[in-house]
């Protein structure tokens, strides 16, 4: 990268090289690394509401407890009877796809706008976590889907009414090589309003 300081080049490199690993090894990263990643999350920007996020670190047996709730709440009715148990078994292992899963919870707000902005802050905190994980030699995977909206899961995590689960960040060592990524040319995404 021409014309940038070494510091800027490192940051640009980290932003571009970060990738989500679908498969992670069972080996747990050190707790200190997870704490540094959580610390990085808390340096995200926010508006009005100071640090409008909370985190639940799901690990060890906690992953199985949530997996059991996932299995019990999955709607199997759209699947043939013969595979209902298989569908439930798959759900049971969902939180065990990584040694650590961080639930990122966005606080509610006094108004819909405040809630939106708190959610935006929690999303920024999530990206900080993904970048910090990458810097630690780990991979992060941001997931939402049914499990992030399932009332029984939210209750188990202590998500209060008005709060929103912004992300499950799966953290661990990548088990597979990252798939190369590409981005559209800036000209397709950017308009300069300069006159
Ligand atoms: C808000 C949000 C929710 C996501 N939820 C899921 C999900 O539930 N399952 C999934 O496979 N990918 C999900 N993703 C996408 C992945 O986290 C990942 O970012 C995407 O596959 C692109 O890969 P990359 O991070 O390597 O660029 C979600 C991304 C965002 C921003």
Number of domains observed in the structure of the chain: 1
Q: What token pair was written down for 144?
A: 């939402």
Q: 165 in helix, strand or coil?
A: strand
Q: Is the CB of 142 under 6 A from ligand 1?
A: yes
Residues of the chain where predicted confidence (pLDDT) is lower than 50: none
User: Could you identify the atom of ligand 1 that is nearest to the CA of residue 179?
Assistant: 26
> Using CA atoms, how far apart are residues 129 and 171, in angstroms rounded to an integer?
9
For residue 14, the surrounding DSSP H or E stretch is helix 6-17
Q: Residue 179 has what pLDDT? A: 84
Q: Is the CB of 124 under 6 A from ligand 1?
A: no
What's the gap between Cα 140 and its chain centre? 7
- Interior/surface letters 85-105, b for 16+ CB within 10 angstroms, e for the rest: eebbeebbebbbbbbbbbbbb
- Distance of CA 7 from the midpoint of ligand 1 (Å): 28
Q: In this predicted model, what pLDDT tens digit does every residue of 96-150 receive, in sequence order?
A: 999 999 999 999 999 999 999 999 999 999 999 999 999 999 999 999 999 999 9
Would you say residue 104 lies in a domain?
yes
Q: Global pTM?
A: 0.96
CATH of the domain at 116: 3.40.109.10
- Distance of CA 195 from the midpoint of ligand 1 (Å): 37
Would you say residue 116 lies in a domain?
yes
Would you say residue 193 lies in a domain?
no
Would you say residue 163 lies in a domain?
yes
Q: Is the CB of 181 under 6 A from ligand 1?
A: yes
Would you say residue 189 lies in a domain?
no
Would you say residue 144 lies in a domain?
yes
Would you say residue 24 lies in a domain?
no
Q: Residue 22 has what pLDDT? A: 84
> Using CA atoms, how far apart are residues 57 and 35, in angstroms rounded to an integer?
10
Would you say residue 156 lies in a domain?
yes
User: In which domain, by residue range, is 164 found?
Assistant: 30-60+95-180
Q: Residue 84 has what pLDDT? A: 96
């Amino acid at each position: 990268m021409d014309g940038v300081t070494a510091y800027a080049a490192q940051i640009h490199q980290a932003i571009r090289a970060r990738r989500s690993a679908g498969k992670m090894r069972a080996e747990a990263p050190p707790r200190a690394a997870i704490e540094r990643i959580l610390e990085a999350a808390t340096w995200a920007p926010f508006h009005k509401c100071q640090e409008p996020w909370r985190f639940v670190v799901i690990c060890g047996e906690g992953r199985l407890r949530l997996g059991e709730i996932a299995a019990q709440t999955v709607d199997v009715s759209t699947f043939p009877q013969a595979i209902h148990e298989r569908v439930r078994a798959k759900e049971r292992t969902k939180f065990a796809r990584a040694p650590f899963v961080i639930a990122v919870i966005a606080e509610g707000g006094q108004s819909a706008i405040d809630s939106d902005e708190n959610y935006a802050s929690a999303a920024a905190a999530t990206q900080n976590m993904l970048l910090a994980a990458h810097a630690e030699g780990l991979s992060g995977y941001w997931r939402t889907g049914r499990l992030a909206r399932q009332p029984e899961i939210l209750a188990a995590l202590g998500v209060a009414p008005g709060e929103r689960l912004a992300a499950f960040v799966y953290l661990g060592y990548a088990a597979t090589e990252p798939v190369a990524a590409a981005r559209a040319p800036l000209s397709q995404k950017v308009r300069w309003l300069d006159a």
